[in-house]
Amino acid sequence: MTSGILSELVAIVGERHLVPGETLRTRPLDFWTDDPTIALALVKPGSTAEVSAVLALCDDRGIAVVAEGGRTNLNQGTRADETSLLLSLERLNAIGVPDEGALTIEAGAGAVVQTLQERCADRGLRFGLDFGARGSATLGGALATNAGGFQAMRYGVARDQVLGLECVLADGTVLRHLSPYAKDNTGYDLKQLFIGSEGTLGIITRAVLKLHPAPVTVNTALLAFPDFDCVTRTLGRLRRGLHGTLSSFEIMWPAFFELNAATLFGARRPLPPGAALYALCEAEGFEPDGDGALFEALVGAALEAGDVGDAVIAQSSRQRDEFWRIREDFEAEQALFPVLIDFDISLPLARMDAFVGELDAALRREIPDVIALHVLGHLGDGNLHLTTGLPTTERRGALKALVYGLVARYRGSISAEHGIGLLKRDYLHHSREPAEIATMRRLKAALDPRGTLNPGKVI
């Protein structure tokens, strides 16, 4: 511990902030993977200067560095090995005071997303990024993976929240451009290189974020539809009619919805089974006197037009939470699939239904032991999550090849939100052309010539 590189690291961060590799082995790799965490050590710098010193040292000694936040990524993006160093940003978690006029806030990469949301909410402001892992995921991880989530339709993805960024290159160079301006055309927009680069181009240490006024009303409904065209017509109706206050439109195909509704609520389930599709939609507005009535009127009009077959509007915050549990709970799925294989893809809205039908038929035909296909997603962003399962791992590769091959044929994206990490690296060519991948490699070589940062991930 106190010899060689480890003692040099201790000299930078202090003994208390270096966790030895042996201790890490008792910790699971990440949210999904029970494998032990393998690394030379985990280092926790307390400032940008310390991050810079750690990186310069490792770059000089040829030691790979893998950044970690809340370890909630779903692609083994933080997997290291016994020769590489894990670098946690957890001590860089300071959150500034929101600027209520400019609608901005500065925060450290280690800030937990939910804490940041709450800090903004206390001032009547909204940080426009929200997803299930909010309680563990960090700002740095969310930016490094360009996270999306439930409200991307309204506020955009992580990229859209960032005005300024501070990050550290592999050789320790600090790039600081904590610009609070929406308009800043001073040369290349370097920050966008690091957002979504999954720790392969630089370590994000701080950001200036855009905020929004926090809505004061919320109206939530579960809708049942006779077919997919009715779903897209209803999405359009709500987007237009709600004057931009529609924040979520979460579609669920019946195999997923009915499993969760029945498992969680049994006979008390909010909608009966039998519809072709379901959606949870939510509007958050600013007019306590009118928002509820407008929402109800639009749902009523969709019912009258025959686009919506059945609807239930939440009458209390408890009922709203129950609706969201149907969308967010994965325990029943985990119990159903001994080997769970999930996909996070984008597709053109107009071709989604055809894709799901074709995939379902192809899976039954070519992977007969597939247990089921569950489909849900953030419809307004063109993002679907597919979950499948097999009794054993034997056909996992064949199943993935089938799904990604079909996504490529529909000109979709093999990663809508979760990034590439390790698990999707070998499928990147399904969504990016050879010239694009070659350009990514040139960027990597320019910014990290020794391949110090998160080697083997993304490309």
Ligand X SMILES: Cc1cc2nc3c(=O)[nH]c(=O)nc-3n(C[C@H](O)[C@H](O)[C@H](O)COP(=O)(O)OP(=O)(O)OC[C@H]3O[C@@H](n4cnc5c(N)ncnc54)[C@H](O)[C@@H]3O)c2cc1C
Residues that bind ligand X (CB under 6 A): 31, 66-74, 77-78, 89, 109, 131-133, 137-138, 140-142, 144-145, 147-149, 198-199, 203-204, 417-418, 421, 454, 457
Closest CA to 66 of 166, 146, 141, 135: 141
Alpha helices in 305-377 (DSSP H): 317-328, 331-336, 352-366
Diameter of the chain measured on Cα atoms: 75
Quick one: 207 or 298, whose CB is closer to ligand X?
A: 207
Quick one: 163 or 165, whose CB is closer to ligand X?
A: 165
Quick one: 252 or 275, whose CB is closer to ligand X?
A: 252
Q: What is the DSSP letter of 379?
A: G
Quick one: 73 or 234, whose CB is closer to ligand X?
A: 73
Quick one: 72 or 431, whose CB is closer to ligand X?
A: 72
- Which residue bears the tokens 């009118």? 290
What is the smallest separation between the CB atom of 456 and ligand X, expressed in angstroms? Answer: 11
Phi–psi pair at 68, nearest 5 degrees: -140, 145
What is the smallest separation between the CB atom of 169 and ligand X, expressed in angstroms? Answer: 11
* Phi-psi domain of 39 (left: phi exceeds 0; alpha: psi -120 through 50; beta: other): beta
What is the smallest separation between the CB atom of 177 and ligand X, expressed in angstroms? Answer: 15
What is the smallest separation between the CB atom of 138 and ligand X, expressed in angstroms? Answer: 4
Quick one: 280 or 370, whose CB is closer to ligand X?
A: 280
Quick one: 147 or 384, whose CB is closer to ligand X?
A: 147
What is the smallest separation between the CB atom of 92 and ligand X, expressed in angstroms? Answer: 8
User: Which are the contacts of 378, defined by CB distance < 8 A and separation ≥ 6?
Assistant: 148, 149, 150, 152, 153, 248, 249, 250
Quick one: 114 or 217, whose CB is closer to ligand X?
A: 114
What is the smallest separation between the CB atom of 226 and ligand X, expressed in angstroms? Answer: 28
Q: What is the SS3 assignment for 275? A: coil
How many separate helices (H) and strands (E) can be counted in the chain?
Answer: 16, 17
Angstrom distance (rounded) from CA 436 to CA 444: 12
- Which residue bears the tokens 């996270």? 147
- Which residue bears the tokens 């029945």? 262
C-beta nearest to ligand X: residue: 141
Q: What is the SS3 assignment for 378? A: strand
User: Which are the contacts of 335, defined by CB distance < 8 A and separation ≥ 6?
Assistant: none
What is the smallest separation between the CB atom of 141 and ligand X, expressed in angstroms? Answer: 2
What is the smallest separation between the CB atom of 115 and ligand X, expressed in angstroms? Answer: 12
Closest CA to 22 of 5, 38, 6, 2: 38
